[in-house]
Amino acid sequence: MSDSPDILIGGAGIAGLTLALCLADAGMKVRVVEQGTKPGSPEPVSGLEGWDVRVSALTAASESLFRRLGVWESIEPERLGPYHGMSVWDAEGTGHIEFSAAQIGASTLGQIVENRRIVAALIAGAERRPRLEIIWDDGIDEVHATDAAIDVTLKSGRSLSAGLLVGADGGRSTVRELASLPVRAWSYEQHAVVGTVQLATPHRDTCYQAFLSTGPLALLPLADKHLCSIVWSLDDAVWDSYMSAPDREFAAQMNRALGTHAPEVIAVGPRAAFPLHQCHAIDYVADRVVLVGDAAHAIHPLAGQGINLGLKDVAVLAQELEGAWCGGLDVGNAAPLKRYQRGRKTENLAMMAAMEGFKRGFGSAHPALRVLRNLGLNWVNDVGWLRDWFARQAVS
């Protein structure tokens, strides 16, 4: 491939690679620049030690996108964790809601998949496409937009030129910074502790989520019927003590937090932690630059919707760019990019506002608010059409 691709993408994560495949399939020359080293193929290891501590809860829409790109089949079936039910409750009260795929006529509510398996499948897909190239172990250092192209200098000193630069390089996006796209951001003053746990009884292909005063705790069912991935959001004042606790004590803390609403945790695998913050770019578009995924918006993981929002960004942007390309327009033309921004900003802001409301509402110890949220959960659970509406949102 020449050094003049049509599209240059910063970041070889899930969003960046998925967009690259979409655009290559539309006939464009695409180059992805990733500062990290190419990951090795995941080892086929089972048990607590063999699962990635970072997983994604993929909706049916996200799965459909991967199937369309021919990468879903590259993920080993034994690593796919379909879930059919969700159980959510307030650990500080009596509020509880449950819904299932069967209630809305769906086969599943989604799939729990290790991030490294998704990335490996996307890389394999990229390597099958001659119009797509990934540059590993390099990063974007400078950008300069002109009327005809965007010129990029890599940290290695290499120069590239393209019609459009896409920032898909995460919450601390270098592309966003170099394009001078400001953000509104704040810390939740929490860390998410993630890992894999073993249960005493099968998880029944159900996601469990408890809202606690210190933050939500989620059990996400893996393909192994006795294993779940966990995401436990904990306040900065306490997360380190949970993270460093011996396995037996950590399991006991989880069981106290979960109560009788979820299966008992009997063993704990390796753990990791990362800080939680919310970030939203005021604009997703600059001269010949556009942002997708976490580079444009990062939200609290309590509903597991971050990756799905990013993949919706990818689908809409790919459609706009393919339309421009097929119509003979410059891929850096502002009109389709602005349409993408208008379409995605509305949904992303709505989801971010909802997550902020959940976070603040369930994190409050105010007695009146505690009563209201428990009444609200029970009311939704009792009103069939409303409960089903929430279930449909989970799969879209």
Domains present along the chain, CATH in parentheses: 7-395 (3.50.50.60)
Contact of 232 with 242, CB cutoff 8 Å: yes
- Mean residue pLDDT of the chain comes to 87
DSSP state letters, 236-268: TTTHHHHHTS-HHHHHHHHHHHHTTSSPPEEEE
Q: For the residues 46-54, what does the mean pLDDT come to?
A: 87
Find where tokens 């394999």 sit. 124
Looking at residue 380, what is its pLDDT? 43
Residue ranges of alpha helices (H) inside the chain are 14-25, 60-68, 115-127, 174-178, 239-243, 247-258, 306-326, 334-363, 367-382, 384-395
Q: For residues 56 and 233, what is the distance between their CA atoms, to the nearest angstrom?
A: 16
Q: Residue 284 carries which DSSP code?
A: S
Residue range 339-389, pLDDT digits in tens: 999 999 888 877 766 555 555 544 545 443 444 444 444 434 444 433 444
Looking at residue 327, what is its pLDDT? 93
Residue range 315-342, pLDDT digits in tens: 999 999 999 999 999 999 999 999 999 9
358 closest CA partner among 179, 211, 206, 158: 211
- Residue 290 Cα to chain centre, angstroms: 19
Looking at residue 395, what is its pLDDT? 54
Residue 393: band (very low, low, confident or very high) from pLDDT cuts 50, 70, 90: low
214 closest CA partner among 364, 354, 93: 364
Ramachandran category for residue 137: left, alpha or beta (phi over 0 → left; psi -120 to 50 → alpha): left
Ramachandran category for residue 110: left, alpha or beta (phi over 0 → left; psi -120 to 50 → alpha): left
Looking at residue 372, what is its pLDDT? 45
Given a cut of 80, whether residue 91 has pLDDT beyond it is no
Residue range 166-199, pLDDT digits in tens: 999 999 999 999 999 999 987 878 899 999 999 9
